[in-house]
Structure 1
Amino acid sequence: MMRKIMKVGPTTLVVSLPSNWAKQFKLKKGNELMLDIQGNSLRVSALGAVEPKEAVLDLRGHDHLLHLLISNLYKVGYKKITISFIPEKTIWHRYRKITHLDLIKSLVDHLTGMDIDEMRKTRQGSIIILKERAQLSSEEFSHAFNKLFFHLSNQAEQVSMHFKGRPVSREEVRMMERLINQASDFCLRILNTQGYHDYMKTAIVFSLVTKLEEIGDEYFNLFLYADQKKVRLDERQIALLLSINQQIKDIYLLVNKFSDGAYDAFSERIVKHFAQFEEIAEKNITKEQLRCCFFIYSILQKCRDLLETSLAINHEKFSP
């Protein structure tokens, strides 16, 4: 759709709004619009006139999907979620039994910007309504993104120290994993509803956030398996894990302060880590240690993927 620019007064430039769009959102003189500059594009949103996105879930027959359904609706950007459930019914979640009600409460605790607005009994069970309490802003992304890196780095340190003889409890590691999920889910919600401030990088940053959350899952699963099976890693395996932990901090620097030298150094360390892993895997290790090595290998692979992502995010560095 093309529009001609008109001039009003000595300096003001004006573009008319499409009439069908204005009618759809009942716009009139005096209404406010949200303008968002995205490179050579200008995004115009009738935020005050748009009806909030709503979803209705009946979990009484799909309770095994409870966590995934709620968290994904949140990440997509729904502002109101109505849930039918059976409060006292128990399901398995993250290796433990928990009731519908306790799981929903637990989920809401890490859905930044959403609260339980209403809860009531019905003949078939109960209904709970989640609502967004404040309008999202793309300016909040940077803070949440930094928190994601911070929590992931802490989790990596936490798990590594556990193997070095400074044990941590499951609840401590579980809490750190929740903080990682909270930060990553909030980042994805902002990206899905507001986009990234540099619109050309939205998909790339989305991939980066998702990959960081997946690395957190691997650390969490590594800890749970080792704690359950009472696995001890040898010195070589611990040294490799500690070295990989440093890569998370290096990725943060690459994303925010990219340089050819830092990229080359990171690439060399990745190659070295894969070689170290091959040596460890070929040694005489226990079945349980080998399983732990699979988690470490997955973390290493995802760090390598993020190396490519750091290039894409800093693509303008290679412009003539």
Structure 2
Amino acid sequence: MYLTIPHNISKKYLYQDIFRKHMRRKIVGQGHNSKAVTLPISWIRENKLSAGDELEVESQGKSLILSAAKVTGPNKVVLDIKSKDMMFKRYLNSLYQFGYDEIEVRCEDELPLNLIESEAKEMIGCEIVSHTGKSCIIKSMATELSSEFDVMLKRMFLIIRMMFDEIVDEMQRKDCDKDKLQEIAGMEQINNRLVYFCQRVLNKKGYKEPSKTTFMAIILNELEQITDSLRDLSMLLSESRDMVSKDTVRACAKLSELFRDLYGQFYSFDTKRVGKMKRKRISLYSDCYKLLGKSKGNATDMLALHHILEGLGRIHHLNIGLVPMSLEGK
């Protein structure tokens, strides 16, 4: 998932917000029992602070986080759209993930309110609070808590596990339940809402362990891509008249098992499991490519194997990243 930014947002502002500024400061002695550090003047000016203002100080292990306690007003943005430009839905969602608390949507012709309402439902905690014929305001009605991130992330893992289990069950049946497969595909939208919310939390507050914020953003992206592959596989099976081979069903079951291993690694990392997962991955890659050679006459089989290989690649990317994260601080 890539962040799409409308043309009317300054690139300078974007770069300042996305890329964290790392600076070094020396500790200065101040009396017998106190120490002090100076604050960057650019940060002081950006937050409109002056001598005597209070700061929030939060200790997180080896990190000390300073936040401006002064309220500078809601975070607002205006989005200009055209009703026939369907990309506005992506712009809107990106602004939500970016952390804006109030989004005013303006349309030069008739406002596509139904489409905007549909998109707003994907934005956890936000509602349309007012609208006219050519504009509307979407406002955040809730405060995002950093503590909610881990809960939402675990729900994503569990939803993907459920999707895997139910897809394999349907593939093993002689007659797939088309409605059930479409229901499984619909779980992707549930996961998307969780991904968007968690991206918003990271952009607004960062992760509870600041050094892992970037990695958590990568995890969200990879989990969303895995969900997309499972959605596409479900829709393929629901719309196709052809059955997939038993070998392809077994390949999907092995992929499901690998994802369960990944889930175990994320919440309880084990170096011994790394080698086992690597051997399983290499074996599954080999099996899938051999099956592709045998499935030239069955388009459904070939496409199903393509989605399985997509998911396998995403799981591999996540597994690689878990190693340095798990060893941090040891």
Q: TM-score normalized by structure 2? A: 0.80
1:257 to 247, 258, 268: 268
Q: Distance in 2 between matches of 1:109 and 1:192?
A: 20
Matched, 1:77 2:99: yes
Aligned position for 1:93: none
SS at match of 2:94: helix
Aligned position for 1:104: 116
RMSD of aligned alpha carbons = 2.9
Aligned position for 2:220: 209
Which is further off, 30-39 or 169-178?
30-39
Aligned position for 1:50: 72
Partner letter of residue 297 of structure 1?
L
Aligned position for 1:136: 144
Query: How far is the alpha carbon of 1:276 from its aligned partner?
Result: 1.4
Query: Which structure 1 residue ranges, 5 or more long, are not aligned?
Result: 90-99
Aligned position for 1:68: 90
Partner letter of residue 314 of structure 1?
S
Query: Is the Cα–Cα contact under 8 Å of residues 112 and 182 in structure 1 kept in the other structure?
Result: yes
Query: Which structure 2 residue ranges, 5 or more long, are not aligned?
Result: 1-23
Query: Is the Cα–Cα contact under 8 Å of residues 96 and 200 in structure 2 kept in the other structure?
Result: yes
**Using a 3 Å threshold, how does the CA distance of structure 1 residues 201 and 4 change in structure 2: closer, same or farther?**
closer
SS at match of 1:67: helix
2:302 to 260, 282, 290: 290
Query: Is the Cα–Cα contact under 8 Å of residues 181 and 237 in structure 2 kept in the other structure?
Result: no
Query: Is the Cα–Cα contact under 8 Å of residues 75 and 100 in structure 2 kept in the other structure?
Result: yes
Partner letter of residue 36 of structure 1?
E
SS at match of 2:130: strand
Q: Distance in 2 between matches of 1:209 and 1:20?
A: 31
Aligned position for 1:150: 158
The 5 Å alignment of 1:88-237 reads: 100-121=112-133, 126-165=134-173, 166-167=176-177, 168-169=179-180, 172-237=183-248
Partner letter of residue 113 of structure 2?
L
Q: How many residues align?
A: 303
Q: Distance in 2 between matches of 1:34 and 1:7?
A: 21
1:36 to 30, 52, 58: 58
Which is further off, 60-69 or 215-224?
60-69
Partner letter of residue 283 of structure 1?
K
Deviations 1:274-312 (A, max 9, x none): 121122112144123212211111111111111101113
Query: How far is the alpha carbon of 1:229 from its aligned partner?
Result: 2.8
Q: TM-score normalized by structure 1? A: 0.83
